[in-house]
Amino acid sequence: MGNSALKAHLETAQKTGVFQLTGKGLTEFPEDLQKLTSNLRTIDLSNNKMEILPPLIGKFSFLKSLALNNNKLTALPEELCKLKKLETLHLNGNHLRQLPAAFGQLSALKTLSLSGNQLRTVPTQLCGLRHLDVISQISVQISHCPRLKVLRLEENCLELSMLPQSILSDSQISLLAVEGNLFEIKKLRELEGYDKYMERFTATKKKFA
C-alpha cells in the first residue's frame, strides 16, 4: 500500500467524512488520519492486521462509527472512551479479553459487536450505556438498560449459568442471539422466564411483519 494510495483515500475522506481501508494488510493505524480529526464521521479498518489501536483515536471527537472487525487487537486504549458521539462500534473477530475501564462513558453508543473475541466475563462497563441496542456479553445490569432490545452473544465462551435469568424475565430485550457458545439452545428454552422473553419476541416480530 503506497503513500499515494493512502493520500487518495485521505482526500476522499476529507470530502465524504468516511475513511474506509479494508483488507489491505495494515499493521498499524494510519497516523495521517490525525489530519482529519474534525472531518471524519466513519472509520472502517476491518480485515487488516492491526495489533494496537493508538491513543490518538480519542481525538476523533465527531466519529459516529468505528469498524475494526477481524484485526489482531488484544486491548483498547482508554482514550477510545472519549468519543462522545460514537454510536456504532464493531470489534468482531479480534483477541480482546476485556474492555477499557471507562467504556461506560461512550454515552451515544447504540450498537456494539464483540462476537468472536476472548471475553470471558461480561464487562460491567456496559451497564452505564443508556442507548445500547446490541452487545456481545452479559451482566445482570444489562436487563435494566431501558433501550436495549437486541442482545447478540454469538460465538463467545459463555456458559448458560452466565446468562442472568433477568434478561429473559425482566428486560426489554426482544431478540437474544446466543448461538455458538458453550451450551445448547434448547437448554435456554428450559430457563424460567423464557416464556416472557418469547412474548416480547413475538410482539416485536408482529410489529415488523
pLDDT at 33 over 50: yes
- Rama region for 17: left / alpha / beta (φ>0; ψ in -120 to 50; rest): left
Res 46: pLDDT:
97
Average pLDDT, the chain: 85
Q: What was the pLDDT predicted at 125?
A: 66
Global pTM value? 0.66
pLDDT in tens, 165-182: 888 888 888 888 888 888
Integer CA distances (angstroms), 203 to 85, 102, 110, 196, in order:
31, 35, 22, 11
pLDDT given at position 136: 44
Residue 60 has a pLDDT of 97
User: 101 pLDDT band (50/70/90 cuts)?
Assistant: confident
Confidence at residue 134, expressed as pLDDT on a 0 to 100 scale: 45
Residue 27 confidence (pLDDT) above 50: yes
135-158 pLDDT, tens digit per residue, is 644 556 567 666 778 887 777 767
| pLDDT for res 153 | 78
For the cut 90, the answer to whether the pLDDT of residue 98 exceeds it is no
The set of cell numbers assigned to 34 is: 490525525
pLDDT of residue 116: 81
